[in-house]
Structure 1
Amino acid sequence: MKRDHRYTTLRLRLESMFSLTHALRQFKICHSSPLLYLYPTHTLSSSPSFNHPKNLSLLLQGHVSPSHLLQIHAQIFIIGAHQDNLIATRLIGRHPTHLAVRVFNHLINPNIFPFNAIIRILADNGLVSHAFSFFKALKLRSLSPNDFTFSFLLKSCFRSLDSRIVHQIHTHIVKLGFNLNLSVSNGLLAVYAKGIRDLFSAHKVFDEMPEKEMICSWTCLIAGYAQFHRPQEALLLFLQMVGENLIPEDETMVSVLSACSILKPKEIEKWENIFSQCSVDVNELCRGSISTVLIYLYGKGGEMGKSREVFDEMVDSARGKTSVLPWNAIIGGYVQNGHPMEALGLFRLMIAGLNPKANHVTMVSVLSACAQVGDLDLGRQVHEYIKTEGRKGILQSNTYLATALIDMYSKCGSLGAARDVFDRMNTKDVVSFNAMIMGFALNGKGEEALGLFSKMEEFGVQPNDGTLLGVLCACTHSGLVDEGRKFFAKMSQCYSLTPKLEHYTCFIDLLARAGHVEEAFEVVETMPMEPNNLVWGALLGACVVHSRVDLAPSAAKRLVYVDPENSAGYVMLSNAYGFDRRWSEIAELRGLMREKRVRKQPGCSWISVDEVVHEFLVGSTSHPHIQRIHHVLDGLFKEMRLMGN
């Protein structure tokens, strides 16, 4: 009992007497004069087995509980071993920051090891200016910093993002010749590229590195360019890398694909040609990386045939030993280009064989495919797969995956499941709020969408463009015209958001659907940008629904002008003429369509039966059971006619 009281008293004395501020102030006093503040003397009894510093040093290795640490520290006091640099170094690494500084302050002649230990502790806590102060004290003592010293200092710069200190550290690195040390150079490169975003200095450090065989150096600079929306430099650097027969890691490829994702449409074809040529010139080991980029680029450019060709060739040659990245690229490409069936087919192939395990990126694409098809049963199966195969709690912590689930359930009509996923999320960001608001909107739950929008402030989440688009869609699908007008006006007045084309399109659709066709046309006239096919399509659709044949031709002509190859404008105008029995105009329209070779796009639908998704195109006879289907339909039509009579 006495012993417990003794160590509790020691702990309280250590923790209450010396705050971090006091300890750092004491550090300045200690290291600016030869007078050092020494530990007070103690008269605690000691065990014979704890009398040797070497034994105490060994006790500080491995796991040490807080209570045991205090016992060891007390014994160090008793035998006067607190000036031992090895013991002090290990104590510094064990104690909270303010006590660690206190331990250091009482060293009379610290060597490089306790200096590195205290710099590391301060760096881990983001106290870069204090860490740098210890570094300057080290220099005043004529001690030579080593590579660990600079690595710890550079680590602290990631949190502070103080470019002035980074440049000072860089100067010391060069002055002491550590720019030739690969570990230090990589740390400096990372701080410039990912920390303070100084890509000019980052590339300069990269160019001056004596050896460039470390993949992480290339990855870091490529990632910096990608994150700074400079895809051309990132891809050129990647080509230089594979040109030197360096094999990129998955982390490198993620940054390369990120750079590809921000290429402008007119740039895609150029880079497709560059990488196609490169795939011929590089060695076999680097060819897989080039193929992954080509799969992604072809998909982004809408050339899924070429993308699948490269993918199949890659998988065949790799014999199942491929990364998850090409699978994600091809599945994502199919989803983005409106081919959900092909995406789901590849996913089934992926999880059935000796292929790489799907990750959260794969699952986001697969859930998007389920949403496109409207297959709720398959979506539920994917949800279960994520829960069983993914790490514990992934749906609560991974906002991208949870948001994809919310979107899938909403589009499949299961709002209860969508809301359950939303409510279980640990952190709700603006993207997850947007997905849930849009889910309510698409299912005609306008009041619920507006209610959730009002709760965003309680969570401290600032609405963005996507949020207001969801709110306007909710008003559109629920006929909340007055609320829609109010929110459209508040975008710029209250939320400092400038309405974009999609917001105008949604607002015009809201007005037109509700029969305010003239007001909708007035909004079109005041738009600060050119109306697109969606705007004119919404207006034309409203003209048809509300029998405004007087305004329909004007909207139809503008729709055909902005989207001449789309049959929708011709079809809707034809319907409007049909309601008004203007058969001659309909004949003229059909003649114009033949003349311009405009074909009506066939409708498409899916249905899931016994976990198999069946796809149907209007006019298509390709389904293997088409004869039986027609036979059943004929029987149904006959029964309907009998019931009608």
Structure 2
Amino acid sequence: MLRFYRNHHSSIPIHLICTHFHSHYSNSNINLSNSLSDLLQGRISHSHLLQIHARVLLAGAHQDNLIATRLIGQYTSLQALRVFNQLEAPNIYPFNAIIRVLSEEGLWFDAFSIFNRLRFHSLSPNDFTFSFLLKACLRLTDAIYVKQLHTHLVKVGFSNDPFICSGLLAVYAKGLKDLVSAHKVFDEMLHKSLVSCWTCLISGYAQVRQSEDVLSIFLSMVDNNLKPEDSTMVSVLSACSNLRIAEIEKWVGELSRFVNTIDSNHQGVDSVRTVLVYLFGKSGKIDRSRESFDEISKSWKRSVLPWNAMISAYIQNGSALEALTLFRQMVEIHKCEPNHVTIVSMLSACAQIGDLDGGIWAHKKYINLQTRKGISALNRNVATALIDMYSKCGCLRDAQEVFDKTTTKDIVTINAMIMGLATNGEGESALSLFSKSKDIGLKPNGGTLLAVLCACSHSGLLNEGREIFLDMSKLYSLEPKLEHYSSYIDLLARVGRIEEAIEVVNSMPFAPNEFVWGALLGGCLLHNRPQLAQVISRRLAKTEEVENSGGYVMLSNAFAVDSRWGDVSNLRALMRERGIKKLKGQSWISINGVVHEFAVGFTSHPQIESLYYVLNILAKQMSYS
């Protein structure tokens, strides 16, 4: 029969203890205490830990502060507290260890209780004590404990410790969202050389969408010759996404002046250029965006951030092919590893031009990245982008498979799947998913209801679409926006309820835009209402931007349906007079992973002569048939 040693929570066979003991401690000259403490370093399996702990107890070494400290660090809070409470005369090290364990598990009240016991042992906290307590404070919403801790660390002389100040700054900025106190801590710091302090402050302002403050602090940081970390840049670029047009123009000027006045070897110049890449792209100046990107040094391009900024700029400005080309340069030439943000951008580009092969490649690339990191679950943003890409490429089954494998679905993921079903004519399935999302407690937003209305429109589900539109305010507490009206009008026009659609246009609290008039015009042409189509076409032509030819083209088509060829000629003359050109048709095809772009009058393709040769042969064959 085996005999067991019992220690509150475990039973360990004595023969295992003896085996372990003889295998490690046969040399009697080795100090037992040092040997045991050495064994407790690094990661230890639970079974091995229990064996070592049993030997500590048998040897009476459980009062050794170093051994106790390392035991505490190996256990979760419950077992760690048992080890700590057995100590008769703990020094500061086991105190710090138990405070750290409790802090990491979010047990802030217990961490503070242990901290208050220091004075009963006549012990003074050190910098590690405060660092671990500040980590516990990150989960607090009550400022009282933080203020008390702040006062205490000032009293004991840690107010100028840069690492302690960084932790305190993080608590105020990220935890409590008290940016006034955070900035005060920052202003009172004697040494501001820690990049993490600047990052905490920038992140705090970014979280509350005070974007201009973010850029002001960022510029000051770079001006102090500090090099921002990737985490700093993520917050800065996130803040830039919330800037209005006027603010973008202002900061483009500020940052450009800074770049032009400092030395090109300045530590932060490339980070400023990265922000300019993003801002130029956001304001539609894609050429300026590329100029800033090309000026970024090779060393800074080892980071994925400038690549992401440039790729995003291309996609925002409808240059999906350029985005895909740049991505290949990034991976194949510069050997820069993409992250999930890059993958989302690439999937968006593939969705824009229907590049299914590229989308599948990006999907596989992401799976490989996750596998190397030991992660199996899909990132929700990537999952949403995959659903969108597969849906737009007509691969609804693949989109559904991604959706089903996404373990933590949010309303954005649901919206993408509903819209995917909608655009592929699966209106009933879209409504079914909408119903299921409500059953599991997900609250629909404006995007959800827009996707559902699109589903009804594409599938001709008049009654269901009308019910959803009319109940938006009452059932979902959402006031219809212009896009909801546009989608509902499209539904009415498609099923031939033209007069009802016009009533909705006249009653809505918004001025009709080109989408509203375009939906009405499409209904008129579909249901043979040529006279009304001409009236609406004129409205559409007046509503659209001067350079947009869509309204004029549809009006021309309406005249042609009614055989009014003279009016067609007059309209084309008017377009020439106003400098309005019909937008060229574009198409893309992916062959062996390379996307080829074609447009009307496009002659720069390297195989253009061969293409026209084949096209002429096909034209002759069709003329003979």
Question: Where do residues 507-546 of structure 1 align in structure 2 (5 Å cutoff)?
Answer: 507-546=488-527
CA displacement at 1:232 relative to structure 2: 0.4
Which range moved further: 410-419 or 63-72? 63-72
- The aligned residue for residue 143 of structure 1 is 123
CA distance, structure 1, for counterparts of residue 509 and residue 499 of structure 2? 18
CA distance, structure 1, for counterparts of residue 368 and residue 55 of structure 2? 50
CA displacement at 1:362 relative to structure 2: 1.6
Counterpart among 279, 291, 300 of residue 309 in structure 1 = 291
Question: Where do residues 122-521 of structure 1 align in structure 2 (5 Å cutoff)?
Answer: 122-283=102-263, 284=265, 285-314=267-296, 317-318=297-298, 322-392=302-372, 396-457=377-438, 459-521=440-502
Q: Secondary structure at the match of 1:11?
A: coil
Amino acid across the alignment from 1:592: L
Q: Deviations over 1:239-297 (max 9, x none)?
A: 11111111112221121111211111222122111111111223313221121111111
Q: Secondary structure at the match of 1:607?
A: strand
Amino acid across the alignment from 2:389: M
CA displacement at 1:299 relative to structure 2: 0.9
CA distance, structure 2, for counterparts of residue 318 and residue 422 of structure 1? 39
Conserved in 2, the CA contact under 8 Å of 1:85 and 1:110? Answer: yes
Amino acid across the alignment from 1:308: R
Conserved in 2, the CA contact under 8 Å of 1:126 and 1:160? Answer: no
CA displacement at 1:486 relative to structure 2: 2.0
CA distance, structure 2, for counterparts of residue 626 and residue 405 of structure 1? 33
CA distance, structure 2, for counterparts of residue 61 and residue 628 of structure 1? 70
Q: Secondary structure at the match of 2:268?
A: helix
CA distance, structure 1, for counterparts of residue 286 and residue 151 of structure 2? 51
Q: TM-score, normalised by structure 2?
A: 0.90
- The aligned residue for residue 41 of structure 1 is none
Q: Secondary structure at the match of 2:589?
A: strand
Amino acid across the alignment from 2:385: A
- The aligned residue for residue 11 of structure 1 is 9
1:613 aligns with 2:595: yes
1:600 aligns with 2:582: yes
CA distance, structure 2, for counterparts of residue 262 and residue 408 of structure 1? 25
CA distance, structure 1, for counterparts of residue 308 and residue 383 of structure 2? 18
Amino acid across the alignment from 2:5: R
The structure-2 alpha-carbon separation of the partners of 1:638 and 1:516, relative to structure 1 and needing over 3 Å to count, comes to farther
Which range moved further: 394-403 or 219-228? 394-403
The structure-2 alpha-carbon separation of the partners of 1:13 and 1:158, relative to structure 1 and needing over 3 Å to count, comes to farther
CA distance, structure 2, for counterparts of residue 76 and residue 624 of structure 1? 77
CA displacement at 1:217 relative to structure 2: 1.0
The structure-2 alpha-carbon separation of the partners of 1:546 and 1:183, relative to structure 1 and needing over 3 Å to count, comes to same
CA distance, structure 2, for counterparts of residue 388 and residue 64 of structure 1? 29
CA distance, structure 2, for counterparts of residue 574 and residue 540 of structure 1? 12
CA distance, structure 1, for counterparts of residue 44 and residue 600 of structure 2? 72
Which range moved further: 227-236 or 167-176? 167-176
The structure-2 alpha-carbon separation of the partners of 1:640 and 1:210, relative to structure 1 and needing over 3 Å to count, comes to same
CA displacement at 1:181 relative to structure 2: 0.9
CA distance, structure 2, for counterparts of residue 609 and residue 51 of structure 1? 70
The structure-2 alpha-carbon separation of the partners of 1:99 and 1:355, relative to structure 1 and needing over 3 Å to count, comes to closer
The structure-2 alpha-carbon separation of the partners of 1:131 and 1:439, relative to structure 1 and needing over 3 Å to count, comes to same
CA distance, structure 2, for counterparts of residue 62 and residue 307 of structure 1? 48
The structure-2 alpha-carbon separation of the partners of 1:364 and 1:564, relative to structure 1 and needing over 3 Å to count, comes to closer
Amino acid across the alignment from 1:369: A
CA displacement at 1:536 relative to structure 2: 1.8
Aligned length: 608
The structure-2 alpha-carbon separation of the partners of 1:225 and 1:631, relative to structure 1 and needing over 3 Å to count, comes to same
Conserved in 2, the CA contact under 8 Å of 1:51 and 1:79? Answer: no
The structure-2 alpha-carbon separation of the partners of 1:493 and 1:280, relative to structure 1 and needing over 3 Å to count, comes to same
**Identity of counterpart residues, as a percentage?**
56
The structure-2 alpha-carbon separation of the partners of 1:428 and 1:582, relative to structure 1 and needing over 3 Å to count, comes to same
CA distance, structure 2, for counterparts of residue 330 and residue 112 of structure 1? 51
CA displacement at 1:61 relative to structure 2: 3.4
Conserved in 1, the CA contact under 8 Å of 2:280 and 2:286? Answer: yes
CA distance, structure 2, for counterparts of residue 394 and residue 13 of structure 1? 35
1:547 aligns with 2:528: yes
CA distance, structure 2, for counterparts of residue 279 and residue 365 of structure 1? 27
The structure-2 alpha-carbon separation of the partners of 1:91 and 1:414, relative to structure 1 and needing over 3 Å to count, comes to same
Q: Secondary structure at the match of 2:138?
A: helix
Q: Deviations over 1:443-487 (max 9, x none)?
A: 111122222223324654333222222211111111111111122
CA distance, structure 1, for counterparts of residue 275 and residue 300 of structure 2? 18
Amino acid across the alignment from 1:571: V
Conserved in 2, the CA contact under 8 Å of 1:446 and 1:477? Answer: yes
Amino acid across the alignment from 2:9: R
CA distance, structure 1, for counterparts of residue 589 and residue 583 of structure 2? 20
The structure-2 alpha-carbon separation of the partners of 1:226 and 1:627, relative to structure 1 and needing over 3 Å to count, comes to same
The structure-2 alpha-carbon separation of the partners of 1:68 and 1:479, relative to structure 1 and needing over 3 Å to count, comes to same
Q: Deviations over 1:274-333 (max 9, x none)?
A: 11111122331322112111111111111111111222233xx53795422111111111
The structure-2 alpha-carbon separation of the partners of 1:539 and 1:127, relative to structure 1 and needing over 3 Å to count, comes to same
Amino acid across the alignment from 2:180: F
CA distance, structure 2, for counterparts of residue 500 and residue 93 of structure 1? 55
Q: Secondary structure at the match of 2:9?
A: helix
CA distance, structure 2, for counterparts of residue 492 and residue 525 of structure 1? 19
Q: Over aligned residues, Cα RMSD in angstroms? A: 2.8
Q: Secondary structure at the match of 1:615?
A: strand
CA distance, structure 2, for counterparts of residue 69 and residue 319 of structure 1? 45
CA distance, structure 2, for counterparts of residue 312 and residue 72 of structure 1? 58
Which stretches in structure 1 are left out of the alignment for 5+ residues? Answer: 15-45
CA displacement at 1:529 relative to structure 2: 2.8
Question: Where do residues 561-572 of structure 1 align in structure 2 (5 Å cutoff)?
Answer: 561-565=542-546, 566-572=548-554
CA displacement at 1:143 relative to structure 2: 2.3
- The aligned residue for residue 98 of structure 2 is 118
Q: Deviations over 1:68-88 (max 9, x none)?
A: 544554555556544443333
1:575 aligns with 2:575: no
